[in-house]
């Protein structure tokens, strides 16, 4: 998807600037998996990107692709009984009760794309937007400023805000999402198909 490549380029450029501004405050590094625990909602665009990544991994490293798919299927099986949404499609329900149930769903489970032996993401190049933007001082959409609790240790709110970068993708992501089925899912459902 050409538009998705443009979206990722915008996000990754902003992230590079956020990393530069954060400097030593940023402790994210390969093998740090704090943010890879517990399911989180992803868009259908993220799901398509992940599936494309897995499809590209299949011929390049079939054993690793099989391990990713097996971890995803095991995660779906484990979560299926409590999944707050459509278990067939993997689409999350959006009512308050379902969101409350989702908040405690698989809290200690690792992302199926995460290699448990290396602590590295097997689909890193194809990871969701949330994975790309979690960690440094980023503003997406509204004015909320999200950072990983491991970063900016000892920094004041002002120092964190000074490192902030706003990601502005305009209407690009909305336009791309409009061409896909509605609703959010999770990584396990995206990859278990």
**Tens digit of each residue's pLDDT (9 = 90 or more) over 73-90:** 999 999 989 999 999 999
Cα 89 from Cα 19, distance rounded (Å) = 36
pTM: 0.91
Encoded tokens for 131: 């994975």
Torsional class of 170: left (φ above 0), alpha (ψ -120 to 50), beta (otherwise): left
Task: Report residue 13: phi and psi, to 5°.
Answer: -65, -45
Average pLDDT, integer, range 57-77: 97
> Is the model's pLDDT at 144 over the cut of 80?
no
Q: Confirm if 139 and 163 have CB atoms less than 8 A apart.
A: no
Measured CA to CA, the distance from residue 96 to residue 158 in angstroms comes to: 34
- Residue 185 is encoded by which pair of tokens? 């899912």
The Cα–Cα gap between 4 and 151 comes to: 28
Would you say residue 9 has pLDDT above 70?
Answer: yes
CB 137 within 8 A of CB 152: yes
Rounded distance between C-alpha atoms, residue 49 and residue 170, angstroms: 20
Q: Which residues contact 173 (CB under 8 A, 6 or more apart)?
A: 7, 43, 45, 129
Answer whether 30's CB lies under 8 Å from 120's CB: yes
How confident is residue 121, by pLDDT bands cut at 50, 70 and 90? very high
């Amino acid at each position: 998807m050409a538009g998705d490549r443009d979206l990722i380029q915008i996000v990754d450029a902003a992230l590079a600037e956020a990393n530069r501004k954060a400097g030593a405050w940023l402790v994210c590094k390969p093998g740090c998996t704090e943010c890879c625990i517990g399911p989180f909602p992803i868009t259908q665009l993220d799901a398509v990107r992940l599936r494309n990544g897995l499809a590209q991994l299949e011929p390049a490293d079939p054993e690793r692709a099989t391990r990713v798919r097996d971890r995803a299927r095991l995660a779906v099986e484990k979560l299926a009984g409590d999944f707050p949404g459509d278990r067939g499609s993997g689409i999350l329900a959006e009512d308050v009760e379902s969101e409350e149930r989702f908040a405690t769903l698989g809290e200690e489970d690792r992302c199926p794309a995460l290699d448990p032996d290396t602590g590295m993401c097997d689909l890193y190049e194809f990871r969701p937007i949330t994975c790309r933007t979690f960690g440094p001082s980023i503003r997406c959409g509204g004015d909320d400023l999200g950072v990983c609790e491991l970063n900016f240790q000892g920094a004041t709110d002002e120092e964190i805000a000074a490192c902030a970068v706003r990601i502005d993708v305009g209407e690009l992501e909305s336009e791309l999402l409009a061409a896909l089925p509605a609703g959010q899912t999770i990584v396990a459902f995206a990859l278990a198909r």
